[in-house]
Amino acid sequence: MKNRLKELQLIAMLLTRVPAGQIKDPLPAMAQAVWAFPVLGAALGAVIWLAFAGANAIGLPPLTAAFLALGLQALLTGGLHEDGLADTADGFGGGHDRDRKLDIMRDSRIGTYGVLALILTLGLTATAMAHTWEHGGNHGRTLAAFLVIGATSRTAMLVPMALLPPARDNGLGHGAALSPGRPVALALAISAVLGLIALPALVAMMLLAGALLALFKAQIGGQTGDTLGATQKLSEMTGWLTIAALAA
């Protein structure tokens, strides 16, 4: 149990900016800790649901509440995945070959493609959240959606991590490379169990992860930390759009 807690602590330190203390030696291996991706994602989903529901409870419009919830999520994660989405969009949109795409992705400046990707992704996610709150039937379903989407969007990151080689010989993507194994299978199982309460969203998000896998391979021959962040944000958006469509 102590090792599992250390692994969860490691993933919290990797995927959030929430103070998680220090890990005593020996440090757990990343490959053994990835089972915690959906657990941490579900916890984040619960926190931002509280913010979303609270904002609605004090009379704010659902769309405003949704943007506030997404803002809190970005604060908790340090905008890590948003940054990855923007860099991926800039690299894939502006680079004419693999090396140039990777160079652009490493540049800290944001370009037109990155700005558009963030506006569209966050805007579509927020409007889908708001629609689900207004038309989902009951607010318990909205909580379930936050839990499932929070968990599965983090699990989706494991698909390129496990099935694609690192596109660089350094960086986060290189350090996060995995081989399919029990921790990955456990993460998928946790998401699958949670996903039973919102199965269409789970299926849509994992299908998107498969499509992104093919895109990353075609564009840069592998995965990077930026593409992992893009996977999280795009799968999150897909989950919310699916839930909103069903609520309609």
Could you report the per-residue pLDDT of 203-223, keeping only the tens digit for each? 999 999 999 999 999 999 999
The better pLDDT of the pair 3, 190 is held by 190
Q: Report d(CA 243, CA 238) in Å as an integer.
A: 9
Q: Report d(CA 20, CA 32) in Å as an integer.
A: 18
pLDDT at 170: 65
pLDDT at 181: 65
pLDDT at 22 over 70: yes
Which residues, in sequence order, are CB contacts of 162 under 8 Å at separation 6+?
Answer: 178, 179, 180, 184
Residue 142: both structure tokens together: 């909205």
pLDDT > 90 in the chain, percent: 69
Give me the residue spans of the domains in the chain: 2-247
Q: Report d(CA 196, CA 28) in Å as an integer.
A: 30
Q: What is the pTM of this model?
A: 0.92
pLDDT at 241 over 90: yes
pLDDT at 133 over 90: yes
Asked which of 83-87, 93-97, 111-115, 182-186 is least confident by mean pLDDT, the reply is 182-186
pLDDT > 70 in the chain, percent: 93
The better pLDDT of the pair 2, 11 is held by 11
Q: Closest Cα to residue 102, out of 14, 208, 222?
A: 222
